[in-house]
A and B are shown apart, each in its own frame.
Chain A
Amino acid sequence: MNMKEIKKIGRNWLRRDAAEKLRGNPVFCADLTLENPLTLKVLRSTHAHARIKRIDVDRASRTQGIARIFTAADIPGKNLAGIINKDHPLLVPDKVRHVGDAIALVAAETETAAERALQAIQVTYEDLPVIRDPEEALKEDAPRIHETGNLLFTRKIKRGEVERAFDDCAVVVEKTYRTSFLEHAYLEPDAGAGYVAADGTLVIYASTQNPHYDHGEVASLLGVAHEKVRIIQAATGGGFGSKLDLNTQGFIGLALYYLGRPVRYVYSREESFLATAKRHPLTITIKTGTDSQGRLMAMRARILCDTGAYGSYGIAVASRAAVHATGPYEVPNVDIEALCVYTNNPFAGAMRGFGAPQAAFAFESQMDLLAGELGISPLEMRRQNALREGSFTGTGQKLTASVGIRDCLNAVKPFYERVMEKWRHDPAPTFKKRGVGLGAMWYGIGNTGLQNPSTAQIEMDPEGSVTLYTGCADIGQGSTTVLSQIAGEMLGLSPGAIRAVVADTKYTTDAGATSASRQTYISGNAVKDAAGKLVEILLTEASNLLKRPKESLIVDSGLIRDKNDPEKTVPVTDIVRRAHEKGLSLKCQGSFDPVTEPLDPETGQGVPYATYAFACHLAQVTVDVLTGEVEVNRIVAAHDVGKAINPAGVIGQIYGGVAMGIGFGLMERYVPGRTVSLNDYDIPTCKDMPDIVPIVVESAEPTGPYGAKGVGEPALIPTAPAVLNAISDALGERIYTLPANLERVLEAAVAAGVFPGSHGVKQPA
């Protein structure tokens, strides 16, 4: 396509739902009008690991206002859910594996009645040994949390001769890095609602990132035919990965199945903290070596992922952490092993980046440590090792196009040089130290070495109006706008003129999960494919009518015209009428599945992703050596997104990613058994936000829609490593555990000998 003709792509489009949101119109599950609904609540385990001897619901069932109390025995279908491995009961039948496990479901007339019933249910537990530490869980004689054992999954990646390569290295650095459980802290706590339609279909509204997965899972739990369930994504106030799991959907389905009355379940913030997935804490021991010039030669890594009580997305996190452990660099010899392990901690699942943010903290710290040993600047160290076209990755994939890491490093370079020359060395205020750090990353778009197709339909009605059908859940990131832009571009229509039917399993087909930064690339291609087929039909008909070659015709604003003879036009509606008379369908199917190759189970060799996003952040920080306070002054964030379909959306993602990255780097930590809510879980406020300079780099991806890749998760990944490297630059002492909270930063300041006075070294009484 001639680039001059592209008008809808690469322009800032107001979010399709912006005006609606400003007016407060979108309907969240909590706001749905239902006729005389029941309230649902779940009794959750207070024990981390215990056999359930007895659940006594007699007294509770007799309390006022109770419609019914359900336990595992009431589940008509298969009582196990999970997107990758099915190990998560909706209601536990015989044992609990973490505090918060669901034991019984109460359906009541009011919230108070539900609460009262919860308190009246009596559970007799028989405690089992509790395992909190994944290393413990791996021991031969450790009690088994699941029948299948505590090791859920291993991902190995082996390439070259690592031992030999280390022998030849001039510099080798080996360190262990640790991260914490994190809570997603989306604005809208998990929620669902539903009713039974006249034809008996269970209609379930959900705050979700993956309606088609929910659909299959609910049908399987209830043992009903697929057509008996309909999932509609309600307005969704963020997800960040946690709304990929079944949260309320199964409970709604179970209650509808038995009671037939409208029901609603809205988690409190406390329940959302207690019962939904967390980010996996990773322990990463990593050894990296270079030759005397600073070229990376070898890397060995052992990664331990604590997935807590259930798998959720744990396998994907372990796999992705392993694949990404090299960073966006050429490392010819690698030996990486990631283990995903069950414990009795809260279950960990998907969270923006799937293990890549944790891995980036490790590999980017290593890059600075190596640069320090070699006396090379951190920027040069990265530039000289960065992947390029023709490079092989650790999985043996040859990168052939859209490798924008160098462009990102080059975009940051002038900023880096300028601050290193001046800001970094200008006198800082008393008791404060300034530091500058870089964090780079790569991120494979879509699922790791797995098929992950998307489908879509575009339909033109007899009046020439266009409807886009997509299963892609827009959870606030703006995918519906981007998909409308793509359809609009193909069909010569304003994106706003396209009707969008989104994420309703009755009317849309599977677009896969809104995760892994995949929807612009994969669903964008599916929409483009569908729209392309419609254009093809229209142009074929128009070509017959106008007696012009199809190649010279274009669709634009309701007309089909000849590029070379603008007078030669025909209204699209005429063509549509002709097509209908001929019995041609104007509803076109589109699909796309990125080309990947499964990873070999022993060597990890294969093609995990069809394309990668790249990024580099520069962080400027000021550290207070008296208190450990860190002020992030500025983040310069360069992101290779392939093509920014909606630049404002890309920049919004970068701002949000930086905020989340600062939380990950400096303050967020979910402590199982202690953290309760946003009262004791601090996320950054606007006052903690730095100046942000977003830089959009466009290294076009040939297989992407208009060259696009993705940015949702990449936006977050480089921030924490850049900030941590900057703190280390400021203090001359490195922190190996996240978050780098006040306490850890002050400890580093003391260890570096920069805490003033004579009491800096010894621990006070």
Chain B
Amino acid sequence: MMRPKATYVRPGTLTEAVDLLQDLDDRCKLLAGGTDVATELRSGAIRGRCLVDLSALPELKGIHEAEEELVIGSGVTLSEIASSAGVARGAPALAKAAAVFGSRQIRNMATIGGNICRASPAGDTLPPLYVQDAELELTSSSKTRRVSIRDFIQGPGRIDLKAGEILKCIRLKKAADFTMHRFDKIGNRKALAVSIVNLAGLVALSPDGIIQRIRLAWGSVAPTVVRSSRVEAFLTGKPLRMETLDQAYPLVQDAISPIDDARASAAYRRRVAVGLLFRLTTQQESPDSIMDIA
């Protein structure tokens, strides 16, 4: 395959970066961890005329925890998210997604900003961000704006990123008032797998097991992550039991629109979308639970 000639720049501050972007044409590609960009350059899926490396920008780094809010820099790696006490407190489902993301090597390189901007239907940080109604902060040389993740992601690989803009950070309301924080991912193998279906779920349960509030977001079952107000409304006020979830089966089927692809059929995804819902009735296993097998 032909490797395109790419010029490469690595600005040292956000101001420098946005100024630079202003002068470059939109065939320049932003580069964070490069775990998507590098593979896309190799396959020829993208042909950047130049690469603007964001990895040295201090403004994109760090996780800041406030009283009610968590602010995650777009350049924060998945490893940092997986090991952050702030994320474990304020967004446990996201922490779980980060823990099972790719492999250690990938987690050390890949950033949350890259995962959002790649806008893959299977992106693993997306469902946890959808259930917490994440807001994204975008910066250009002329202005800074905020947009909800639902509006930002428009389709597979399509995002509302204007010319000259950089995703600066992600703002989340802490999900402290939920009793269950779940993330589940189904892939062809136990690591280094693209999600065939994933599901993030937040549930506030009353002491007698009634769902008081619930938020669900499925990945890889539609062009973008699916949240369904109908499903959530239907389940609210009902006991978290198999019978209840079983009744939601047709509503879930209506909400999703999966396709057949190389990894699985639409029929498989439809069934597993509900299968993962049923899993809410069980204790979530810790990823490395050891079973007595002898």
Question: Which positions in A face B, CB cutoff 8 Å?
Answer: 112, 115-116, 119, 268, 270, 418-419, 423, 429-431, 620, 622, 626-629, 633-634, 667, 671, 674-676, 679-680, 682-688, 691, 741-743, 746, 750, 755-759, 763-765
Contact = CB atoms under 8 A, between A and B. Distances in A.
A430 B271 contact: no
Contacts of A686: 191
Given A633-B291, A742-B196, A627 B188 contact: no
Contacts of A688: 189-191
Contacts of B291: 622, 633
Nearest to A270: B1
B190 to A, nearest CB: 4
B8 interface: no
A418 B294 contact: yes
Contacts of A423: 292-294
A627 B272 CA distance: 6
B265 interface: yes
Contacts of B292: 423
Contact of A757 (B246, B282, B294): B246
B83 interface: no
Contact of B2 (A115, A679, A746): A115
A764 B271 contact: yes
B294 A685 contact: no
Chain A to chain B: the 7 pairs with minimum beta-carbon distance, closest first: A626-B275, A687-B190, A757-B246, A687-B191, A633-B293, A430-B282, A685-B191
Contacts of B267: 763-764
10 contacts: A268-B1, A418-B294, A626-B279, A671-B262, A685-B190, A688-B191, A742-B272, A743-B265, A756-B246, A759-B249
Contact of B189 (A419, A687, A755): A687
Given A429-B282, A431-B279, A741-B188, A685 B103 contact: yes
Interface string B3-28: 10000000000000000000000000
A627 B279 CA distance: 10
A759 B248 CA distance: 11
B215 interface: no
Contact of B264 (A634, A680, A742): A742
Contact of B268 (A115, A419, A743): A743
Contacts of B274: 757, 759, 764
B206 interface: no
> Considering residues B250, B265, B282, B294, which has the most beta carbons from chain A within 10 angstroms of its beta carbon?
B294
Contacts of A691: 293
B293 A627 contact: no
Interface in B260-294: 262, 264-265, 267-268, 270-272, 274-276, 278-279, 281-282, 285, 291-294
Given A682-B193, A742-B196, 15 more contacts: A112-B2, A115-B1, A268-B1, A431-B279, A627-B272, A671-B262, A742-B268, A746-B275, A756-B246, A756-B278, A757-B249, A757-B278, A764-B267, A764-B271, A764-B274
Interface in B157-206: 186, 188-193, 196-197
Nearest to A687: B190
A429 B191 contact: no
Contacts of A634: 293-294
B196 A419 contact: no
Contacts of B2: 112, 115-116, 119
Contacts of B293: 419, 423, 620, 633-634, 691
B253 interface: yes
Contacts of B245: 757
B242 interface: yes
A430 B186 contact: no
Nearest to A691: B293
Nearest to A625: B275
Contacts of A671: 262
B39 interface: yes
A626 B272 contact: yes
Given A115-B2, A746-B271, A764-B271, A682 B188 contact: yes
A561 to B, nearest CB: 50
A629 B294 contact: no
Nearest to A430: B282
B39 A679 contact: yes
Contacts of B264: 742-743
A685 B272 contact: no
B281 A685 contact: no
B118 to A, nearest CB: 15
Contacts of B192: 682, 685
B262 A680 contact: yes
A674 B186 contact: no
A35 to B, nearest CB: 25
A183 to B, nearest CB: 14
Contacts of A756: 242, 246, 278
Among the interface residues A676, A680, A742, which one has the most CB atoms of the partner chain B within 10 A? A742
B189 A682 contact: yes
A430 B279 CA distance: 9
A759 B188 contact: no
Nearest to A624: B275
Contacts of A627: 186, 197, 272, 275-276
Interface in B94-134: 103
A687 B193 CA distance: 11
B157 to A, nearest CB: 16
Contacts of B253: 764-765
A676 B249 CA distance: 36
Q: Most chain-A Cβ atoms within 10 A of its Cβ — which of B191, B197, B249, B271?
A: B271
A431 B262 contact: no
A633 B39 CA distance: 33
A471 B293 CA distance: 45
Contacts of B196: 742
Nearest to B288: A687
Contacts of B278: 431, 626, 756-757
Contacts of A675: 262
A192 B264 CA distance: 37
B242 A757 contact: yes
A665 B277 CA distance: 28
Nearest to A633: B293
Nearest to A432: B282
B34 to A, nearest CB: 15
Centre residue among B188, B196, B270, B278 by max chain A CB count within 10 A: B188
A759 B270 CA distance: 11
B83 to A, nearest CB: 19
Contacts of B186: 627, 629, 742
Contacts of B250: 765
A547 to B, nearest CB: 62
A743 B272 CA distance: 10
A686 B103 CA distance: 11
A400 B279 CA distance: 56
A687 B187 CA distance: 13
A633 B294 CA distance: 9
A49 B278 CA distance: 49
B262 A750 contact: no
Contacts of B268: 628, 742-743, 746
A431 B294 contact: no
B191 A750 contact: no
